Amino acid sequence: MSRAVIVIHGGAGAIARQAMSAEKEQYYNQALAGIVERGQAILAAGGSALEAVTEAVRLLEECPLFNAGKGAVFTHQGQHELDASIMDGTTLGAGAVCGVTHIRNPILAARAVMEHSPHVMFAGPGAEAFAFGRGLERVEPEFYYTAERYAQLQRALAADAGAILDHDAPSGGDPLDPDRKFGTVGAVACDQYGHLAAATSTGGMTNKQVGRVGDSPIIGAGCYADNATAAVSCTGSGEVFIRGVAAYDVSARMAYGGLSLQDAADRVIFDKVPALGGSGGLIAVDAAGNVALPFNSEGMYRGVGYVGATPDIGIYR
């Protein structure tokens, strides 16, 4: 029997601690803890790692605090384009969708692709047609809207600063500066049988160009799981994580280099990603239930929940 655990993240980025009220911080901590507890309950009841990460990411998509599903950021053209992926470490089965605009929970679409299609990734209208054909919920783009995200886009447009902003003055009381945050959500889990799974979902980057796809829906870049090594979900500079095949690289360093989970994860986040000019973090778990949560940014929303233990929640370094 392995030590069953669920790990989640809600994005990484620059700290704006001075702008955050105690009430706001509590709001984030409660949201993270509640989602971890749901994952713990699934694992405690004998549920699979795949079930746990699916539900955890679905709940993160439903929470407007995070950039996935409800609360997704806006593109430069004022639209929403969502991406998600999932991988089963037992079978190496994987599914992903990208550039979707009407699916309430992209992670459920990604799982449907994995389980009901011979393909791994669907994009745009094709992804939506497949999802709706499987009975998934359709929403209008207004569903994703929040006033905070719209204001974020307006600041980006006014600054004419491109998709990755570098503002020193945060607003809205977000614990991480909302204009310098890599908004991705993800979950990894190990169940009692040592089976692993990973899931990642995102609304992308504020002010991104229509059609831009980052690492989140790309198997091996933003998401990877293999029972023999690790389950990994990334959050950070998407283009760099793609070029570095970041999630798979953690697994490869374990498989071919004999590194521990922690050492493999640390080398990717603290050596490889910065060398390519990127920042961010990842969450990872191995089949023994060991956990790694490295990040080279100032903060990362994160939560760890071993079955039977109180969730461990963090925002800052």
Q: Is the pLDDT of residue 17 over 90?
A: no
Q: What average pLDDT does range 200-218 have in this prediction?
A: 94
- The residue behind tokens 């791994």 is 120
**Least confident stretch, 167-176, 251-260, 270-279, 296-305:** 167-176
Residue 179: band (very low, low, confident or very high) from pLDDT cuts 50, 70, 90 = low
Residue 235 marked ligand-binding: yes
Domains of the chain, by residue range, sit at 5-159+182-316
5-159+182-316 falls under which CATH superfamily? (Glycosyl)asparaginase (3.60.20.30)
**Least confident stretch, 85-99, 156-170, 249-263:** 156-170
Residue 281 marked ligand-binding: no
Tell me the C-alpha distance between 300 and 317, whole Å.
8
pLDDT of 158 reads 87
Tell me the C-alpha distance between 206 and 232, whole Å.
24
Q: Which of 176, 270, 50 is nearest to 165 (CA)?
A: 176
101 is catalytic: no
Q: How many of the other CB atoms lie within 10 Å of CB of 19?
A: 17
Tell me the C-alpha distance between 174 and 312, whole Å.
20
Question: For residues 220-238, b (16+ Cβ closer than 10 Å) or e, as one string?
Answer: bbbbbbbbebbbbbbbbbb
Residue 281's DSSP bridge partners are 235, 295
Please provide the size of the chain in residues.
317
Mean pLDDT taken over the chain: 92
Residue 214 marked ligand-binding: yes
Residue 203 marked ligand-binding: no
Catalytic: which of 54, 75, 90, 184? Answer: 184
pLDDT of 58 reads 98
Q: Is the pLDDT of residue 276 over 80?
A: yes
* HSE value, Cβ hemisphere, 13 Å, CA-based, for 193: 11
